[in-house]
């Protein structure tokens, strides 16, 4: 059950967060609150207080709150890594935080039990993956969207929407697995650690995906640059 899917107000979001016991890694209870003055150190503020600025009626912020409720360990880990890195950056965001931001805003989690399908994804063999092996994709590859910016864009879908993905082989404890993957990243990790995923190539997500020619459009299904 996902009771938070019906949360349409700060009060209901916070009731779900409280019921689930969601916390930052600093031990602060996560609560969704109206925004205050702009804070250049937003992530540190969330880490230290648990207060997540959420504009009433703003879909971007609402999807961010839902991501906290759906993937609490992953979101807490992203926040903690931002907060730990910011004091050492001297005002210039590092490549690790680029990775974190891309994943937070545009991330997806691919759970795939078929090594051959995963190899096609990593090698950008989009037509082979999504068309030639679409039955296998539907059977053995599950995609969970974490990125709140992607969720907002998906309300007006177009084929060019692309996620940056973490790929897992086991479907159990997905949230904990992704949090662990993030925790294991070295300090010099870059966005190249994330797999590229043209999200609306997944069979059935757009009506156009019922046609083989859809996957020939290299504007959206770009080959891997070696």
Ordered by start, the domain boundaries in the chain are 3-92, 101-216
Half-sphere exposure of 57 (CA within 13 A, CB side): 0
Please list, residue by residue across 146-168, b when 16 or more beta carbons sit within 10 angstroms of its beta carbon and e when fewer do.
bbbbbbbbbeeeebebbbbbbbb
CB 195 within 8 A of CB 165: yes
User: What number of helices (H) and strands (E) belong to the chain?
Assistant: 10, 6
Enter the pTM of the model.
0.93
Kindly give the residue spans of alpha helices, DSSP state H, lying in 28-147: 42-49, 59-70, 72-85, 95-106, 115-122, 126-127, 134-140
The answer to whether 50 and 24 have CB atoms below 8 angstroms apart is: yes
CA dihedral 136, 208, 194, 112 (to 10 degrees): -10
Token digits of residue 13: 């979001």
Please answer whether residues 104 and 170 qualify as being in contact, where contact means their C-beta atoms are separated by less than 8 angstroms.
no
**Would you say 132 and 203 are in contact if contact means Cβ atoms under 8 Å apart?**
no
Tokens of 45: 């503020």
Instruction: Give CA–CA dist 19/72, Å, rounded.
Output: 13
CA angle in degrees (0–180, nearest 5) for 146-127-215: 80
Q: What is the pLDDT along the chain (226 residues), one digit of tens a residue?
A: 455 455 678 999 999 999 999 999 999 999 999 998 877 789 999 999 999 999 988 999 999 999 999 999 999 999 999 999 999 887 788 899 999 999 999 999 999 999 999 999 999 999 999 999 999 999 999 999 999 999 999 999 889 999 999 999 999 999 999 999 999 999 999 999 999 999 999 999 999 999 999 999 999 999 998 7
């Amino acid at each position: 059950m996902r009771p938070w899917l019906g949360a349409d107000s700060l009060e209901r979001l916070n009731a779900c967060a409280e019921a689930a016991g969601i916390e930052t890694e600093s031990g602060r209870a996560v609560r969704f609150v109206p925004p205050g003055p702009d804070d250049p150190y937003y992530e540190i503020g969330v880490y230290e207080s648990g207060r997540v600025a959420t504009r009433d009626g703003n879909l971007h912020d609402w999807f961010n709150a839902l991501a906290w409720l759906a993937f609490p360990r992953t979101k807490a880990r992203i926040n903690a890594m931002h907060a730990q890195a910011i004091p050492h950056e001297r005002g210039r965001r590092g490549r690790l935080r680029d990775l974190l931001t891309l994943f937070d805003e545009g991330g997806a989690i691919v759970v795939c039990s078929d090594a051959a399908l995963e190899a096609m994804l990593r090698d950008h063999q989009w037509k082979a993956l999504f068309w030639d092996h679409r039955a296998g994709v539907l059977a053995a590859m599950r995609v969970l969207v974490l990125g709140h910016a992607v969720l907002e864009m998906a309300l007006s879908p177009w084929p060019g929407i692309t996620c940056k993905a973490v790929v897992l082989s086991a479907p159990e404890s997905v949230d904990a697995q992704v949090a662990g993957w993030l925790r294991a990243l070295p300090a010099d990790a870059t966005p190249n650690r994330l797999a590229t995923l043209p999200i609306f190539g997944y069979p059935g997500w757009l009506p156009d995906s019922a046609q083989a020619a859809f996957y020939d459009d290299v504007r959206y299904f770009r080959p891997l640059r070696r």
